[in-house]
Amino acid sequence: MKTITAHLQSIPPYTPSDGAIYLAGNFNNWQPGDERYRFRANGDGSFRLDFQAESETLEYKITRGNWVAAEGDARGNELPNRVFKAGSQSNDLWMRVESWTDLQAQAGRFAANVLLLHPEFQIPQLGRTRRIWACLPPDYWSGRQRYPVVYMQDGQNLFDNPGAIFGSWGIDRALNRLFLNGRESSDAGRQPIIIGIENGGENRIGEYSPWKNARHGGGEGEQYLDFITDTLKPFVDEHLRTRPEREHTAVMGSSMGGLISLYAALAKPAVFGMAGVFSPSLWFSREVFQLVKDRPATQAVRILLMAGQQESQTMVGDLLDLYETLLEAGHAEDNLHYDLHSDGTHSEWFWAREFEHALQWLFGERPDHAHGISNETVRFEVNRQSKELLIRVSPYIREPQLEIRDYCHNRQFRHALNGADNRIPYAEWENCIYSVRLLSEGDLVFSRRVSLEE
């Protein structure tokens, strides 16, 4: 008699959450729904089954209780029987299901490294449940190394699935590209596990802000953040091969998800060492700026701010105000990065396009991409020898004006600019830290802090 331990490492993310999974073969007369051969969930998206078998050669298939719903290949087609020859008294079977034959239309929709980690994960802080996804690095199953983790909001919009009604970030494809591009480099091990937390639908706004808005609600953000740090993260660290330290843990989101991600980095820097903040809904509550001021940087947190110039009228100005407020609160400039893209809109396609760059910057790579406005809209440098600011502005910037704020003496200067090189002497107001801002028709579009000390 042979002892068999069957390990089912992953199943398709679209697998119905209310059904059971079975092993059927020559050891149980090919009964597809035999309760004795029902897999038990491990809680991390994988399953296990222990049983005894007399035959040394096992033939078998995985089913959901009947032969219509059997495992299929990558395209949902029927597979031949699996065959395993048992050797020693104790044997381990390692398997993954690529598709189900009765759900062929959904086959190939998800990458093999996308898992439904839990269909109804409890949120005890709010008395709700939530679906949790995981996107694993492509080499996760082939090694034993541990990986950083990024906790992302709006999990149903991260992958190509029917729940992504506003479009998909294509996170699975992006991770695969980064893996292929970086697998020969020393940075390959920095590729993270992505944990996608689905939003709560009608509870989304409430959960994504710790502050209340008179018109839109909110106010549950603190409890939601406690759920991530005190409930979800311990579960993920226990069931996946993670690097749990703060310097290997990031949080990321867009819009209201960007707001709660920023709050997470500020409120719990002992947990999150990085934050990707895309098009944050800073309009929702100005209290976020007060939070930055009240929470001086005691631990280094890398924060990436990203927005598009085609979003709301206040987005660019608010983002630059946030950037400067973070600097004033003691966040090192090397740990802050912002991008304001001229074509960016408040939409998934824009955030998806910038995701790879954001991931690379957050995890320590320095891609050839200076922060600021994209597409060579403005070039800025300090010539210390001639004591001049050298500024070139694109002719597409209308009515450009330079505003310089002197933090040492509470002074402010303004200079009209043109499309050619602009040379502004600064000898009379040097030896200080300044905020250099570019305005277009009165709207703030660029900001950079510089020190003009000798």
Parse the chain into domains and list their residue ranges: 2-106, 114-373, 378-451
Is residue 147 within 8 Å of residue 249, measured between CB atoms? no
How buried is residue 6: exposed, middle or buried, by Cβ count under 10 Å (0-12/13-18/19+)? buried
CATH topology of domain 2-106: Immunoglobulin-like (2.60.40)
> pLDDT tens track of the chain, all 454 residues?
889 999 998 788 788 888 899 999 999 999 999 999 999 988 777 899 999 998 889 999 999 999 999 998 867 888 889 988 887 788 888 888 888 999 887 766 666 678 888 888 999 999 999 999 999 988 888 888 999 999 999 998 887 654 554 557 777 777 777 776 655 443 445 689 999 999 998 999 999 999 998 889 889 999 999 999 999 999 999 999 999 999 999 999 999 999 999 999 999 999 999 999 999 999 999 999 999 999 888 899 999 999 987 888 788 888 988 998 998 899 988 899 888 777 788 988 888 888 888 888 898 765 444 444 443 566 777 787 888 878 878 777 778 888 877 766 767 778 888 766 788 877 666 666 677 777 777 666 677 666 665 4
What topology is assigned to 378-451 in CATH?
Answer: Immunoglobulin-like (2.60.40)
Q: Is 2-106's fold the same as 378-451's? A: yes
Most distant pair of Cα atoms in the chain: their distance = 92
What does the pLDDT read at residue 167? 57
Distance CA 369, CA 184 (A): 22
114-373: CATH topology: Rossmann fold (3.40.50)
Three-class SS string for 257-324?
HHHHHHHHHHHCCCCCCEEEEECCCHHHCCHHHHHHHHCCCCCCCEEEEEEECCCCCCHHHHHHHHHH
Residues 156, 169: Cα–Cα separation, whole Å: 10
Contacts of 191 (CB under 8 A, 6+ apart): 137, 147, 148, 175, 178, 179, 182
Q: Nearest 5°: CA angle at 310, between 312 and 276?
A: 80
For 39, 121, 124, 221, 398, the CA distances from 129, given in Å and listed in that order, are 23, 5, 8, 16, 50
